[in-house]
């Protein structure tokens, strides 16, 4: 397993060891002990999967309080641009973000801890995204930032995106509450 650091220390990409031969491939997408050795010591309590078509943007989402989620994201089919935004007030990287392309061809995973908003854009005809969460989904603790926020100015690499009504109505970055404080 290889760890790829990003420009924000808490966000990193995991490249698992993949065994291939004429029959196909095999890899361990998660082994608790190996992930604890690289610092992911929280227990994962929920697995999610979503299928989206090309040009879909989902996000930017996060949860607050005791249900703040860490997410370990991977793509089972297709290709996405994955995005994590630092929303920890006082952080030296507050308002900065990391984008990374994930695909079913590279098997990479993106670790996004609590204190970061998460979103993705589908770059292929369709994509199936799988992610493990450290806390369960909690509607009352769900928050978000509008995908096209002018302060963040994220290049989603999508023209004419398909975005849910709910995601289009999320607040701007400048209006988010101080739910996460950097220490």
* Sheet with strand 142-144: strands edge to edge: 97-103, 79-86, 116-122, 57-63, 142-144
**Given the residues 35, 62, 97, 131, the one annotated as active site:** 131
**Given the residues 35, 61, 62, 97, the one annotated as active site:** 61
Active site includes 118? no
Nearest one of 73, 76, 125, 124 to 100, comparing CA atoms = 73
Rounded to the nearest 5 degrees, what angle is found at the Cα of 158, between the Cα atoms of 73 and 119? Answer: 30
* 140 φ, ψ (degrees, to nearest 5): -70, -20
Active site includes 35? no
Catalytic sites, residue numbers: 61, 131
């Amino acid at each position: 397993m290889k760890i790829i650091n990003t420009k924000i220390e808490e966000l990193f990409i995991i490249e698992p060891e993949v065994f291939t031969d004429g029959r196909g491939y095999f890899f361990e997408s998660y082994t608790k002990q190996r992930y604890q050795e690289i610092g992911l010591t929280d227990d994962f309590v929920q697995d999610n999967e979503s299928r989206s078509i090309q040009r879909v943007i989902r996000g930017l989402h996060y949860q607050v309080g005791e249900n703040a989620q860490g997410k370990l994201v991977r793509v089972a089919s297709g290709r996405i641009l994955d995005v994590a935004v630092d929303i920890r007030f006082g952080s030296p990287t507050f308002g900065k973000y990391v984008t990374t392309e994930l695909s079913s061809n590279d098997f990479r995973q993106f670790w996004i801890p609590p204190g970061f908003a998460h979103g993705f854009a589908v770059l292929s005809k369709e994509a199936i995204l799988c992610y493990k969460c450290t806390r369960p989904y909690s509607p009352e603790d769900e928050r978000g930032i509008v995908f096209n926020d002018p302060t963040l100015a994220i290049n989603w690499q999508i023209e004419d995106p398909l975005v849910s009504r709910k995601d289009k109505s999320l607040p701007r970055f400048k209006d988010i509450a101080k739910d996460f404080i950097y220490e």
